[in-house]
Amino acid sequence: MLSVVCWKWGTLYGVEYVNRLRAMLDRHLHIPHQLYCITEDPTGLDYRTLHVPMFEETFSGMTSPSGKRANFRRLQIFNPELECIWGPRILQLDLDIVITGDVTPLFSRTEPLLAFDQRHMAPQYAKPVRGWKNIPKFNPSMILMDTGVLGHLWTEFTADPAGVWEKVKTARIGDGNNSDQAVFGYYAIPLNPVGWGPTDGVWPFYKVKVDGSSRGNALPDDCRAVLFFGPDRQDDPKVQQDYPWIREHWLER
């Protein structure tokens, strides 16, 4: 049984995001799986989704290079002690995903760690920082892993959060502002994880958007999932109007 874990806190994403994620998985993931939602407010969750109470926010006094409050809450996913909740194999998905095709081949893989690699990003979105094209930039929007494969991340970070965060910022993994992503990337790179990308059918929306004019804003061929990290959101009526496949795959089912 594959445990699929998502997070919902605050008001940025409503409960409909979780329920639509469950519906998309039901349609497109053809192996036994169970969806868990880590949230402080389970009101309205589909009864088949298992609720995990939100973990206490950790290291809230730390800031990103821009001076914004750094968010490390999702690093709890790497705590090996939580295997007692969801078992030995975890798929973490952000709520800003639209699953558009069969993801069974993606999530049936058995490597210890897989994640989306942002080196597949459109060139105009890239920052010429320390040879970014050659350094993986793994995004935690979609991670498939053995529980505990990055247990040392959690152990070292909880022992010295400020020290680890300083090392991550100095290494300039990512932009340093998306703090849990930067820490994940710093620890993931030495393991050389499998990096999903468009050749696997996993597209960031901004690349769909940049490339879409030649397709009449249609989905790329063999697209399986679209990740909406970035400024655009799938619940934006204008985005839905311009990209009708969002309504087909996310909104109306």
CA 119/CA 125 separation, integer angstroms? 10
Q: Give me the pLDDT at residue 168, please.
A: 87
Kindly list the distances between the CA atom of residue 206 and the CA atoms of 18, 55, 59, 88, 125, in Å, as whole numbers in the listed order.
22, 31, 31, 33, 9
- pLDDT score recorded for residue 124: 42
Tell me the per-residue pLDDT of 3-20, one tens digit each, with 9 for 90 and over.
Answer: 999 999 989 999 999 999
Distances (CA, A) of 213 to 34, 44, 97, 210: 37, 38, 21, 7
Mean pLDDT of 16-34: 97
Q: Which residue has the tokens 């309504």?
A: 247
Structure tokens that stand for 46 in this block: 């589909």
Question: How confident is the model over 244-249, as a mean pLDDT?
Answer: 93
**Residues 205-214: contacts with CB within 8 Å, 24+ apart?**
205/230, 205/232, 205/234, 206/121, 206/122, 206/125, 206/230, 206/232, 207/120, 207/121, 207/122, 208/243, 209/243, 210/122, 210/124, 211/122, 212/243
CB crowding 91-126: b at 16 or more within 10 Å, else e: bbbbbbbbbbbebeebbeeeeebbbbbbebbeeeee
């975890």: which residue's tokens? 90
Quick one: pLDDT at residue 134? Answer: 53
Looking at residue 97, what is its pLDDT? 97
Query: Which pLDDT score, from 0 to 100, does residue 133 have?
Result: 47
The average pLDDT across 160-170 equals 88
In the sheet with 225-227, reading across from the earlier edge strand, the strands are: 97-99, 225-227, 202-204
pLDDT over threshold 70, residue 217: yes
User: Strands, E, within 55-131: which ranges?
Assistant: 89-93, 97-99, 113-117
Q: With a cut of 50, say whether residue 131 has pLDDT above it.
A: no
pLDDT above 90 for 219: yes
- Of the chain, the percentage scoring pLDDT greater than 70 comes to 88
Place of tokens 């995004």: 139
Q: Which CATH number fits domain 2-62+74-152+188-251: 3.40.50.2300, 3.90.1200.10, 3.40.50.150, 3.90.550.10?
A: 3.90.550.10
CB atoms within 10 A of CB 25: 21
pLDDT category at 60 given cuts 50, 70, 90 is confident
The answer to whether 154 touches 78, Cβ cutoff 8 Å, is: yes
Is the pLDDT confidence value at 129 over 90? Answer: no
User: pTM of the entire structure?
Assistant: 0.90
Q: How far apart are CA 154 and CA 159, in angstroms?
A: 8
Using the structure block, give the residue that is written with the tokens 């998985």: 25
Give residue 65's pLDDT.
72
pLDDT at 160: 93
> In the structure, what pLDDT confidence band is assigned to residue 125 with cuts at 50, 70 and 90?
very low
Q: How far apart are CA 153 and CA 183, in angstroms?
A: 8
Q: Would you state the structure tokens that stand for residue 26, as one six-digit string?
A: 């039901």
Residue 77 DSSP label: G
